[in-house]
Amino acid sequence: MKKIIVVGGGAGGLEIVKRLSQKLGRKNKAEIILVDKSQNHVWKPLLHEVAAGVIDKNSDGINYRIHAVANKYQFQLGNMCHIDKQNQQIELAPLYDENEQLILPKRTLKYDTLVLAIGSVCNDFGTPGVAEHCYFLDSLAQAESFHKALLNQLLRINQKGVESKPLHVAIVGGGATGTELAAQLHHVANLARAYGMPEMSADKLTVTIIEAGERILPALPEKITNSARQALTKLGIKVLEGTKVTAANKEGFVTSDNELIEADLMVWSAGVKAPDFITQLGIFETNRANQILVTPYLKSTLDEHIYAIGDCCGFQQEDGSWVPPRAQSAHQMASTAATNIINEFNHKPGQKYQYKDYGSLVHLSKYSTVGNLMGALSNSTMFIEGRLAKLVYVSLYNMHLFAIHGWFKGIFILFFRKVRNIVGPKLKLH
């Protein structure tokens, strides 16, 4: 029986595993294996909410092992460290616990078809001090690490009878992650008062967004930028545009004007790239963002047995632009790659990938949601905000749930989430 290995259980990876299991795994046409270095899946656009503490991986995440059992595929916990394309096998690094005790030795998995969906990481552009002093939000573990640090800072400020300085948070990068995190932190600072921290409020929080470009949300229409900036400024969040960071230290960020922006917590969310590991393998053509160059059928240009989807995939469109690293891109690529793999088994021709931009949305916590709809969702570009924009934003995550669970189970999950949101705590305190 042929083996299909998918490395990376993000939005694209988990969706393609679900579909391949339905069409091939359940019919015993192929053995489907998912590899990921984490035990749980959380939709990447929601990692800033994990960091802020408004969602919990245990209730809002998906355990890979449970999902694998329900959908008839295998899950292997591990970090891929090598690809041997000659022998068509991958190697997983040894797995250790927090006490450096060996849990699993180095393993080798053979494949007939390999799908790389390993996502992206923040690009610090070699800025001195960033790796040592900043938090990143590339993974669930990093989001949880920031959340623990945030809770410690909230506890510091909440001390009664103790004069403590306000909490300063500085976020480099005015994209969706940076702006959405800033709004969530403002919300959490006020929310903490209802959860045993009566001395805490947004008045004791200073959030600064630092964007090197001319405006925040540079990839979106200017009307969305202006609306988001207005909403953030109204909350008291400082928005510094046209401000380049040249270094980071334990006190904060240093700008090109040699100004120090003080911060207790520093977050770097300025730009993404595929992991450096991709280029170090030496078996792929890559672009400047380390992404794997692919054919129109999403296969590596140098190996027809390897597909690449999502943020690690470099797909250049006819106009010369690259498909942006977004959740909708990963979803569309997963659909095309799954179709092509299934077609290969059924001796049918492949399908060329074509990116469709359905628009973008920015959800600023409970305060505002703005965005635009494009393509098949409207006859032209349409600016939306408020309740309509929030409804569309929520529907995007719901569609992801349906893709990985199916409609029947997905509806039940949404129902129980709604009930939990009503009766459960609004802030994660551990």
What domains are defined for the chain? 2-120+274-345 (3.50.50.60), 129-268 (3.50.50.60), 359-423 (no CATH)
Give the model's pLDDT for residue 241.
96
The least confident of 230-239, 305-314, 394-403, 420-429 is 420-429
- pLDDT tens, 105-116? 999 999 999 999
Q: Are 84 and 90 in contact (CB under 8 A)?
A: yes
Predicted confidence at residue 378, as pLDDT, reads: 46
Q: Of 196-205, 212-221, 333-342, 414-423, which range is least confident?
A: 414-423
Please compute the mean of the pLDDT values over residues 7-16 and round it to a whole number. 94
Please, are residues 143 and 47 in contact by the beta-carbon 8 Å criterion?
A: yes
Rounded CA gap, 34 and 45, in Å?
21
Pairwise CA distance, residues 41 & 11, whole Å:
9
> Contact at 8 Å (CB) between 61 and 42?
yes
List, in order, residues 6 or more apart from 250 with CB less than 8 Å away. Answer: 133
Distance of alpha carbon 53 from alpha carbon 102, whole angstroms: 31
- Can you tell me the distance from the alpha carbon of 111 to that of 77, in angstroms, rounded to the nearest whole number? 16
**Tokens at residue 388, please?**
């309509």
Amino acid at position 262, single letter: E
Work out the average pLDDT over 283-295.
Answer: 97
Check: CB of residue 389 under 8 Å from CB of residue 369.
Answer: yes
Q: Mean pLDDT, the chain, as a whole number?
A: 89
**What pLDDT was estimated at residue 377?**
45
Higher per-residue confidence, 2 vs 358: 2
- Examine the pLDDT at 403 and tell me if it is beyond 60: yes
**Residue 419 burial by Cβ neighbours in a 10 Å radius (0-12, 13-18, 19+):** exposed
Place of tokens 């060996």: 102
Question: What pLDDT is recorded for position 200?
Answer: 83
Per-residue pLDDT tens digits for 120-173: 999 999 999 999 999 999 888 899 999 999 999 988 888 755 566 789 999 999
